[in-house]
A and B are shown apart, each in its own frame.
Chain A
Amino acid sequence: MQPKTLFEKVWDAHVVRPETPETPAVLYVDLHLVHEVTSPQAFTLLRERGLKLRRTGRTLATMDHSIPTLPRGADGKWPFIDAMAAAQVAQMEKNCADFGVELHGLGDPAQGVVHVFGPEQGATQPGMTVVCGDSHTATHGAFGALAFGIGTSEVGHVLATQCLLQRRPKTLAVRVDGALGPGLSAKDLILAIVAKLGVGGGTGHVIEYLGPAIRALSMEGRMTLCNMSIEAGARAGMVAPDDVTFQWLAGRPRAPKGAAWEEAVAAWRKLPSDPGARYDREIVLDASALEPMITFGTNPGQGIAVTGKVPDPAAEADRQVRATLEAALRYMALTPGKPIAGQKVDVVFIGSCTNGRLEDMREAARVLKGRRVRIRTLVVPGSHAVKRAAEAEGIDRIVRDAGAEWREPGCSMCIAMNGDRLEPGQYSVSTSNRNFEGRQGPGGRTLLASPLTAAAAAVAGAVADPRRVLEGR
């Protein structure tokens, strides 16, 4: 038999009707995650066409984008940014009730950022197809699932038919040799990968992350890695499941139990790519050569080592590349050739579907413990489960004692829909995934980094090498 990649195995197992030159494949969806921002018009479509939700058991909803990250007021009301956000949340509740969708909404103990919530419920499992009206659905590929973001029309298609029309994407192997040094994490690795591929370099491809540095990552780290596959233009990123995956999943609410668990694990062990399986493209990186990474520009591919200097457009031979770099530096108001370390920072944001998990909270706490933040610092756990677990370890106290804010779960300042945002001209160091112009508020300037680097910036009040901060230098 022809050796197959992990992607090919998952794809082939979900083809309801194969693609032809005339028609795309009909691909079955095992898990459809739904949130309040990209679903209302899809439910409207169902109502207009008189359609029902096809599979309630495969559809799971939460709320994250529009919701406040401050607790309910003394009057019992949620402090929504405006009436539109409140109306969107109310519409979500109505849509889920009308169509029979299981919703873990505001106030629910399982509520969280959709890509934190799905995995921790055990809903995301190896070998599945997972979709959501959100580009960071790539996160779930950390389990060896084929997971990708879809638009609202497609959300409607999946609600009504549990299927999507898809052309088979190409495959891209990203092999990472060596080992990450101290003070580095999956975030530094993915920022380095996106810098190497470029912000559109993965377009049309599904990435599989391979190699010893990937195997050494925790599940949280693998989720961070796969999460930002889309920042290189790849709709999905995948990591083959192994014992790390199975241990993380065992006992979670929606994971199989007893004999079904043993059976599932046996099937999951067959998912990794076969020896000799071929990819359409392959790139190789050495993790040992990396330094903590930070972005300086207005797309996630514009990353450098925290010990590095802001690139000089004058050194770029290609006119278009130079123009893009100049536009980014103009927006960011950064000086070419100047070291990025020491750059003044106004706000630090630690959270999001990229870095809002327990391990990320622990990393932030490692830096914040016994130190004081010099600037506004928001620490936003990715879900109530993360928040409870962190509080059980005393992380909330460490955060508050350092002078930082410990918030309720949500997307918060990653997307700045809920009022958590930068003021025009402010700089943030953020553990989120996008540094596009205005992403964290109109006129805001975002530098993406790991939780360690973000926490180091919070205590230094400027961009700093987390290794030096941890060593007290």
Chain B
Amino acid sequence: MEPIKFIETKTVVLPRENVDTDQIIPARFLKVTDKKGLGKVLFCDWRYEAGGAPKPDFVLNRPEAAGCRVLVAGDNFGCGSSREHAPWALVDYGFQAVVSTRIADIFRNNALKNGLLPVVLDPESVRKLLAAPGAQVRIDVAAQTVGLPDGSSAKFPIDAFSKYCLLNGVDELGFLLDQEASIAAYEAKRP
């Protein structure tokens, strides 16, 4: 994983609550055995007609969405299944962060393991971002802040260990593998 310290980009706004993982990537695309190229089916059924033509009204199909790396959505983003294909698809498409008032637990865990920053902000800050599609934002991972369109700044929580992993581009597996002695000791004392 590449280290992530700052994200400076424009936003894409998806003003819906409860964007579930079946919308992020429908289950029929989960028959893959690798993780590459899923960005092209991101939000597939919202993004394309049944015949494959792009739906002009969907936000990702508008010209101004090109190159925007932060997705702002309504409350409870990523609810539903544990499919890591959801963050794989978002990252493959080019997103670096997702902003909402609430992000589902499993999705958040999966996002962090793929360098996709889950940003939970207070309702007022998210309201400002939802009202300003295409706003330029600056996310500072170390300071845990998002610079908002009105010049103010909002703080977001992030687990200290996840933050360390993002800032340094390291993954959790290395840390877990280093726990071998503790794991063996734990197993030895169990019935």
Instruction: List chain A residues, Cβ under 8 A from B83.
Output: 37-38, 151
Give the 8 A-B residue pairs with the shortest CB-CB distance, closest first: A200-B76, A151-B110, A40-B33, A149-B82, A151-B84, A84-B31, A153-B113, A152-B84
CB distance from A330 to the nearest CB of B (A): 12
Task: Evaluate contact between B105 and A161: CB separation under 8 angstroms.
Answer: no
Q: How far is the CA of A327 from the CA of B32 in the complex (A)?
A: 31
The chain A residue sitting closest to B75, CB to CB, is A200
A324 with B18, Cβ < 8 A, contacts A16-B182, A235-B106, A438-B45 known: yes
A200 with B82, Cβ < 8 A, contacts A165-B172, A438-B22, A443-B50 known: no
Task: Evaluate contact between B81 and A135: CB separation under 8 angstroms.
Answer: yes
Size of the A side of the interface (Cβ < 8 Å), in residues, is 67
Instruction: List chain A residues, Cβ under 8 A from B33.
Output: 40-41, 44, 87-88, 91
Task: Evaluate contact between A134 and B82: CB separation under 8 angstroms.
Answer: yes
Checking B32, B45, B82, B176 against A26 with a beta-carbon cut-off of 8 angstroms, the contacting residue is B176
Checking B28, B87, B109, B175 against A416 with a beta-carbon cut-off of 8 angstroms, the contacting residue is B28
Q: Mark A298-334, 1 if CB is under 8 A from B, else 0.
A: 0100000000000000000000100110010000000
Counting CB contacts under 8 A, is A204 at the interface?
A: yes
Task: Evaluate contact between A424 and B176: CB separation under 8 angstroms.
Answer: no
Task: Evaluate contact between B76 and A203: CB separation under 8 angstroms.
Answer: yes
Other A-B pairs beyond A44-B34, A434-B81, 9, CB < 8 Å: A22-B160, A23-B161, A150-B82, A151-B106, A203-B76, A233-B76, A233-B79, A436-B20, A442-B50
Counting CB contacts under 8 A, is A237 at the interface?
A: no
Counting CB contacts under 8 A, is A17 at the interface?
A: yes
Q: Mark B5-16, 1 if CB is under 8 A from A, else 0.
A: 000000000011
Task: Evaluate contact between A437 and B161: CB separation under 8 angstroms.
Answer: no
Task: Evaluate contact between A324 and B26: CB separation under 8 angstroms.
Answer: no
Tell me the residues in window 400-447 of chain A with beta carbons closer than 8 Å to chain B beta carbons.
415-417, 424, 434, 436-439, 442-443
Instruction: List chain A residues, Cβ under 8 A from B102.
Output: 200, 203
Checking A44, A82, A161, A415 against B176 with a beta-carbon cut-off of 8 angstroms, the contacting residue is A161
Q: How far is the CA of A26 from the CA of B81 in the complex (A)?
A: 24
Q: How far is the CA of A415 from the CA of B80 in the complex (A)?
A: 12
Counting CB contacts under 8 A, is B124 at the interface?
A: no
Counting CB contacts under 8 A, is B145 at the interface?
A: no
The chain A residue sitting closest to B100, CB to CB, is A200
Task: Evaluate contact between A235 and B105: CB separation under 8 angstroms.
Answer: yes
CB distance from A442 to the nearest CB of B (A): 5
Task: Evaluate contact between B31 and A199: CB separation under 8 angstroms.
Answer: no
Counting CB contacts under 8 A, is A49 at the interface?
A: yes
Counting CB contacts under 8 A, is B150 at the interface?
A: no
Task: Evaluate contact between B179 and A157: CB separation under 8 angstroms.
Answer: no
A-B contact list, 5 entries, CB within 8 Å: A23-B161, A135-B106, A230-B80, A230-B106, A438-B22
Task: Evaluate contact between A17 and B114: CB separation under 8 angstroms.
Answer: no
Instruction: List chain B residues, Cβ under 8 A from A137.
Output: 82
CB distance from B22 to the nearest CB of A (A): 4
The chain A residue sitting closest to B87, CB to CB, is A151
- Give the interface size class of chain B: 35 or more
Q: How far is the CA of A116 from the CA of B32 in the complex (A)?
A: 24
Q: How far is the CA of A41 from the CA of B179 in the complex (A)?
A: 23
Task: Evaluate contact between B109 and A151: CB separation under 8 angstroms.
Answer: yes
Task: Evaluate contact between B84 and A16: CB separation under 8 angstroms.
Answer: no
Task: Evaluate contact between A38 and B106: CB separation under 8 angstroms.
Answer: no
Checking A26, A37, A133, A204 against B105 with a beta-carbon cut-off of 8 angstroms, the contacting residue is A204
Instruction: List chain A residues, Cβ under 8 A from B34.
Output: 40-41, 44
Q: How far is the CA of A182 from the CA of B110 in the complex (A)?
A: 42
Task: Evaluate contact between A165 and B176: CB separation under 8 angstroms.
Answer: yes
Instruction: List chain A residues, Cβ under 8 A from B187.
Output: 28, 162
Q: Mark B156-181, 1 if CB is under 8 A from A, else 0.
A: 00011100100000011101110110
Instruction: List chain B residues, Cβ under 8 A from A45.
Output: 173
Instruction: List chain A residues, Cβ under 8 A from B113.
Output: 151, 153-154
Counting CB contacts under 8 A, is A62 at the interface?
A: no
Counting CB contacts under 8 A, is B134 at the interface?
A: no
Task: Evaluate contact between A153 and B114: CB separation under 8 angstroms.
Answer: yes
Instruction: List chain A residues, Cβ under 8 A from B74.
Output: 320, 324
Task: Evaluate contact between B179 and A434: CB separation under 8 angstroms.
Answer: no
Task: Evaluate contact between B176 and A320: CB separation under 8 angstroms.
Answer: no
Q: Mark A31-55, 1 if CB is under 8 A from B, else 0.
A: 0000001101100110001010000
Task: Evaluate contact between B106 and A149: CB separation under 8 angstroms.
Answer: yes
CB distance from A156 to the nearest CB of B (A): 7
A161 with B177, Cβ < 8 A, contacts A153-B114, A199-B18 known: yes
